[in-house]
Amino acid sequence: MSDLPDPDILLDVALTIAREAGELLARGREGTVAAESTKSSPTDVVTALDRASEALVARRLGELRPGDGLLGEEGADSASSTGVRWIVDPLDGTVNYLYRLPNWAVSIAAEVNGEVIAGVVHAPALGGAGTTFTATRGGGALRDGSVLTGSTETELSRALVATGFGYTVARRTAQVAVLTRVVPRVRDIRRMGAASLDLCAAAEGVLDAYYERGLKPWDHAAGALVAAEAGLRVGGLLGRRAGEDLVVAAPPALFGPLTDLLAEDPRADRD
């Protein structure tokens, strides 16, 4: 195995490719976008643009980083001979994209030895000319070059909390049951439709915290690094790492109370 690369070099690659994929998606959005097929349920749509974006990312990674591994939502899966694996959501927020809502993004993370060390969440339709969140492990989090610091809220009752819902009826039913416990205990809830951008919004402090169950690595890999580098505590259920069970990003003082609330009856949120 060769020497592991500098996170800044990986970030540059991620940024270059995320911008190219973002341009493809933005151009694609000027035409008609249709749900081409469905995945886990009738509401879990995939468009031709999800697939075209992933194909572009895979091709460009092959050119710029031959030998690196890849895990992509739309099926790209290759082993790494360099120690670097890319984790890619080629279009996070597909339903927003379909409906012309601006909260959608290309999410690209670089993982080395199981740790994400660089990540980009690029949202071409957000904030007029587009918005790009970046982070490297130990190097801080940025929005379009400006340093991000998350909320320092200490009271759960004053927290604005974002969450999301999966696509299957069973998971949604369980998620709503959990939500009924959360809503009375927080300032309010937001559901914006792209997990990567929810994590970046928490990093930016325009939300206090975010949680969601059922996320896949491509939904949270880059955004979770942005949130952690902005000073938030990021983790999972019962002291575990962030994962499919649960992803929480919250100010240190809120992390415990929020995860305790979410864990009150873990069986209630299983599908």
Residues 11 to 40 in contact with Ca ion, rule: CB under 5 A? none
3-class SS at 265?
coil
Q: Select from 54, 73, 204, 269 the one that contacts Ca ion (CB under 5 A).
A: 73
- Among Ca ion, ligand IPD, none, residue 124 binds (CB under 5-8 Å by kind): none
Nearer to ligand IPD, 165 or 255 (CB): 165
Length of the chain: 271
179 or 253, CB closer to ligand IPD?
Answer: 179
* Under rule CB under 5 A, residue 54 binds Ca ion: no
Q: Which of 253, 239, 245, 242 is nearest to 269 (CA)?
A: 245
Q: Please, which residue, 112 or 123, has the CB nearer to ligand IPD?
A: 123
- Please say which residue, 94 or 151, places its beta carbon nearer to ligand IPD: 94
Residue 25 near residue 65, CB atoms below 8 Å: no
Instruction: Annotate each residue in 192-221 with x if it binds Ca ion (CB under 5 A) or - if it does not, as one string.
Output: ---------------------------x--
Alpha-carbon span 152 to 150, nearest angstrom? 7
- Among the listed residues 261, 254, 250, 257, the one whose alpha carbon sits nearest the alpha carbon of residue 227: 250
211 in Cβ contact with 201 (< 8 Å): no
Residue 184 C-beta: closest distance to Ca ion, Å:
29
Interface with Ca ion, residue 111, by CB under 5 A: no
Find, among 131, 126, 111, the residue nearest to 224 by Cα.
Answer: 111
SS3 state of residue 36: strand
Find the DSSP H helices in the chain. Answer: 7-30, 48-64, 94-98, 169-182, 195-204, 217-229, 252-263
Q: Which is nearer to ligand IPD, 92 or 153 (CB)?
A: 92
Minimum Å gap between C-beta 196 and ligand IPD is 7
Q: Tokens in use for 114?
A: 């199981």
CB of 244 to ligand IPD, least distance (A): 10
SS3 call for 158 = helix
Of 54, 89, 111, 198, which one interacts with Ca ion (CB under 5 A)? 89
Q: What is the largest CA-CA distance in the chain?
A: 53
The two three-digit tokens of residue 173, written as one number = 């039913």
234 touches which of ligand IPD, Ca ion, none (CB within 5 to 8 A by kind)? none
Contact partner at residue 174 from Ca ion, ligand IPD, none, CB < 5 to 8 Å by partner kind: none
> Which of 68, 92, 198, 204 lies at the binding interface for Ca ion (CB under 5 A)?
92
Query: Taking the complex as a whole, how short is the minimal distance between the CB of residue 52 and ligand IPD, in angstroms?
Result: 14
> What gap in Å lies between CA 14 and CA 6, rounded to an integer?
13
What is the binding site for ligand IPD (CB under 6 A)? 89, 92-94, 164-166, 193-195, 212, 214-215, 219
Question: Which residue lies nearest Ca ion, judged by its C-beta?
Answer: 92
Nearer to ligand IPD, 208 or 219 (CB): 219
- What sign has the CA pseudo-torsion 116, 120, 126, 128? positive
Residues that bind Ca ion (CB under 5 A): 73, 89, 91-92, 219
